[in-house]
Amino acid sequence: MARGLRDIKRQIKSVQNTRQITKAMEMVAAAKLRRAQEKATSALPYSEKLKEVVGSIAAGTNGISHPMLEKREVKKTGYLVITSDRGLAGASNSNILRKVSNFIAERHQSKDEYCLFVIGRKGRDYFRRRGLPVVEELTDLSDSPTYADIKTIANAAVHQYELGQIDELYVCYNQFVNALTQLQEISKLLPMENIGSGGDLTSYEYEPSPEGVLEILLPKYAETLIFSAMLNAKASELGAKMTAMGAATKNASKMINELNLTYNRARQAAITQEISEIVGGANAQQ
């Protein structure tokens, strides 16, 4: 019985240590989430202004053309998939990867019809295990990524579209709603459709020409949208991690209470047994 009590006590200590770790991870994720939300929010004015300028050029200039604005026959599609490098984030990664896999399976019959640009170790490993065509990858990002961190893969995806190596480009990521809710988003980035329609557009003067400005701004705008999706996905990851660690902490507390109850019952049974043995021994001597 003493050995059983020691085992229960050791198990209680182990779960208490686990609870301390999960609680600390929950608090760290909560702090990082606030910073990630602020960063995602602060990036919106820049992308909105860039969209306004690009829309003004596209709507106000007759006869202007650019590969990013023109639909063409789709022979090959690119997918830029954003996941995390580490786990402990609930079903965040598995949800977006499942949705992307189903989306690809519905639209393509052959691996030659698409290619993958993957951000995050979880996504890279998932697609590699299945032998899917990953042409660019980016891993080991910090929890506070900068534009410079994702510029190479964003530029590669946009450049392949400009060169005609792919005819569509989709961005796939977890859209942050709140710490409890993330929506799996698959949105078409290229070609840009209806960018110059709707709303009151400001009139600008361009140097050297609208066409020259558009040539520079459109790739930048596409890369900015990818960076915005990256910030959103990072906030989603931290929100999911905070929620998962919070649930783990609650489960650990529940398990500790149950183990304490088991320990107290076993201890009470051991004391009762010892008293019974003492009383039995005393009666035997009479």
- pLDDT tens, residue by residue, 138-167: 999 888 888 899 999 999 999 999 888 999
176 in a domain, yes or no? yes
pLDDT tens digit sequence for 124-135:
999 999 999 999
Cα 158–chain centre separation: 21
32: amino acid identity, one letter: K
Structural domain includes residue 224 = yes
Q: What integer pLDDT is reported at residue 282 of this predicted model?
A: 65
Contacts made by residues 273-281, CB under 8 angstroms, sequence distance 24+: 273/1
Write the CATH number for 128. 3.40.1380.10
Residue 145 lies in a domain: yes
pLDDT band with cut points at 50, 70 and 90 for residue 257? very high
pLDDT tens-digit profile of 240-254?
999 999 999 999 999
Whether 127 is in a domain gets the answer: yes
Asked if residue 259 belongs to a domain, the reply is no
Write phi, then psi, for 168 (nearest 5 degrees).
-145, 150
Average pLDDT, integer, range 175-194: 85
Total tally of structural domains belonging to the chain: 1
181 belongs to a structural domain: yes
pTM: 0.83
Share of the chain above pLDDT 70, in %: 87
Residue 142 belongs to what domain range? 27-243
Q: Which of 75, 83, 160 is nearest to 128 (CA)?
A: 83
The single-letter DSSP state of residue 200 is P
